[in-house]
Structure 1
Amino acid sequence: MNDLHALLTLSTVHFIALLSPGPDFALVVQNASRYGRKTGFYIALGLSFGILTHSILSMTGVSYLIHLHPTLFSLVRFAGGSYLLYLGLIALYGTIRYWHSSNTQANMSVQSATSSRRIAFTRGYMTNLLNPKALVFFVSLLSSLIPSDMSLPSKGAALVILWSLSLGWFGLLAWLLSTAKLQQKLHKVAKYIDGLCGLLFTSLGTLILYMSII
């Protein structure tokens, strides 16, 4: 009964956290609105596996050790900040290129390359995995809600819950943003969404990089 209560609490807290806007949310919005449902789904799949990886590392104590070690945690923050900065610069470059290029075919080829399944999955996975806030969140969440004496099946259920809720939420978001009517409207403002997401990723990446070296 205690295990069931812990799992229900874990589900509630994690779902509330998923609803909070952040890099994961922005990544799904940016890609699903510009590249459509398939790309949005693979972004969501990558994010959910990033969350699953964080959950496993936290449950096994690896993330806790990284968090306790200042040098290792700084390296994680540096890698995460660098990757977010990279995503931001790509988005800003695409926005600038859109405004200045009259070559539609070139823009279409960039879109085709960016929207491949492998790139979309990797982008989602790395964005979540390298997010130092995600590492701290899951260390805190699982250490407080998953007791060390919890049964192995219950711990497995916790991992399934965290992964499935993540995939369900981000997948639903990608689906809602890629309906036919909404896609027509979003394509008209895609350049603005790219620009805003680019500014967000660049700002967050720069901030995390700064925090990792001070």
Structure 2
Amino acid sequence: MEYVPYLLTAYAIFMLAVLSPGPNFLAVTGTAMTVSRRAGLGLALGVGCGTLCWSSMTMLGLTAILAASADVALILRWAGGAYLVFLGYKSLRAALRRNRPVTETPANLIANPDRPFWRYIRRGLLVQAGNPKAALFWLSVMSIVLRPDAPAWVAVAIVVGTTTISFCWHLALAWFFSTPAVMRVYRRAQRTIEGVLGAMFIIFGGKLLAG
């Protein structure tokens, strides 16, 4: 039970990240709205697979590093806290901007609505795997919550839990954003959502830096 708070922290930080509009959010929602629900669901599955890849690779690499050096663990913790503060700043800045489009769908996602389902899965995987910020995010999350003396099941639980969250959230995005009514609601609440998420990121990061 002593590791449950670390797991909950990892899940909370990850949920903040997936709730915050970014490349994955824009790709999934944009495709669902402009192509079809089927295409959006395929892209969402690909993003979930990319999350599994990033989290697994980071877990395997950081477990060895944290066990070998307490100083490195402390440095990574500070770096992770600083990065979360940076994410919060960007979200707050975005919330203050006016007249922004909610979605920007890349042209190559809507060029061929009849492409096979597996190609949308591949596209989602590439969107997630090709995002350099994903590496920094996972480095920060794992360095924050993965203690050097933690048993192996803790790291596995982080990977399984966050991957499940990723699949569920992005599939839900594809499903709901393929309906016009949901898009209208999000447009009205977008700035508020981004402002709240930004503040929570800064709180998380600030606590890590202060501690």
What TM-score do the two structures reach when normalised by structure 2? Answer: 0.61
| Shift in CA distance, 117/89, structure 1 to aligned 2, threshold 3 Å | closer
Is 1:90 the counterpart of 2:108? The answer is yes
Q: Distance in 2 between matches of 1:90 and 1:40?
A: 14
Pairs within 5 Å for 1:8-19: 8-19=8-19
CA contact (8 A) 2:33 2:177 kept: yes
Give 1:7 deviation, angstroms. Answer: 0.5
What is the DSSP-based 3-state SS (H/G/I as helix, E as strand, rest coil) of the residue aligned with 2:113? helix
Distance 1:90 1:153 in 2: 40
Mapped to 1, the partners of 2:160 and 2:130 lie a distance apart of 21
Give 1:169's aligned amino acid: W
Q: Aligned in 2, Cα 1:88/1:40: closer, same or farther, shift over 3 Å?
A: closer
CA deviation profile, 1:13-70 (whole Å, cap 9, x unmatched): 10001111111001011111122222211111110111111101111117x99xxxxx
Partner residue in 1 for 2:196: none
CA shift digits 1:109-152 (9 cap, x unpaired): x3112xx2111111111111111100011011111111232222
In structure 1, runs of 5+ residues without a counterpart are 66-86, 95-109, 187-214
Give the helix-richer structure, 1 or 2: 1
What residue number does 2:169 align with? 169
Question: Which amino acid is the alignment partner of residue 108 of structure 2?
Answer: I
Q: 1:156 corresponds to which residue?
A: 156
Q: Quote the Cα distance in structure 2 between the aligned partners of 1:148 and 1:51.
A: 23
Root-mean-square deviation (CA), in Å? 2.7
Distance 1:172 1:89 in 2: 23
Once residues 88 and 159 of structure 1 are traced to their aligned partners in structure 2, the CA distance between those partners, rounded to angstroms, is 29
Structure 1 counterpart of 2:60? 60
Q: Which residue of 1 aligns with 2:113?
A: 111
Question: Aligned with 1:8: secondary structure?
Answer: helix
* Structure 2: distance between partners of 1:89 and 1:163: 28
SS at match of 1:60: helix
Give % identity: 29
Q: CA deviation at 1:90?
A: 2.6
Output the amino acid matched with 1:18. Answer: V
Letter aligned with residue 30 of structure 1: G
Structure 1 position 128 matched with structure 2 position 128:
yes
1:158 to 1:13, Cα distance in 2 relative to 1, 3 A = same
Counterpart of 1:111, as a letter, is P
